[in-house]
Amino acid sequence: MEQEKRTEELKTLKMLLGVEDSGKDELLFFLLDDAERLILGYCRLCCLPEALEGLIPVIAADMYRAKGYGDADFAGAVKSVSEGGRSVSFAAPTDESILANYYKRLKPYVNRRGRVPSDVGKVCECI
């Protein structure tokens, strides 16, 4: 079941990115896992609610584009430009800047109580 879910997420992510071959599957699976961990960490949850599962490939696609994965010459977004001495600086996108577009959608799922370090080893019970 879990493998089936991941395969479907990969298919959706490839559709969003316009990728047709399987050459980048490892990278895309990594981004799917990272996007899920990003959501779980932000919401302070141990398992993903079903309503947020569709958000994983969307955030993974944003991460792929914003961080320049698959583009060896990617320098990041231009942060500032100076003409006098010809200075250009680039800003690397952060996970927070990527999640900024999804705060409203994630807000109802944020666990206000949160998790404490002593909860780390405990088994999560998802409904």
Q: Domain boundaries in the chain?
A: 2-116
- If pLDDT is split at 50, 70 and 90, which confidence band does 124 have? low
pLDDT mean across residues, the chain: 80
Q: What's the average model confidence in pLDDT over 79-104?
A: 69
What is the assigned CATH class of domain 2-116? mainly alpha
- Both ends of the chain: CA-CA distance in Å? 16
What average pLDDT does the segment 55-78 reach?
Answer: 74
* Residue with the larger pLDDT of the pair 47 and 70: 47
- pLDDT of 106: 93
Q: Which residues contact 106 (CB under 8 A, 6 or more apart)?
A: 39, 42, 43, 52, 55, 99
Neighbours of 62 (CB within 10 A): 19
Secondary structure element (H or E) that encloses residue 63, with its range:
helix 55-66
Instruction: Give the mean model confidence (pLDDT) for residues 57-79.
Output: 72
Q: How many CB atoms lie within 10 A of CB 36?
A: 20
- Predicted local distance difference test score (pLDDT) of residue 68: 77
- Residue 74's contacts (CB-CB under 8 Å, 6 or more residues apart) are 67, 68
Residue 10 · residue 29 · CB < 8 Å: yes
Tell me the per-residue pLDDT of 9-59, one tens digit each, with 9 for 90 and over: 999 999 999 999 998 999 999 999 999 999 999 998 888 999 999 999 999
pLDDT score recorded for residue 96: 73
In the structure, what pLDDT confidence band is assigned to residue 118 with cuts at 50, 70 and 90?
low
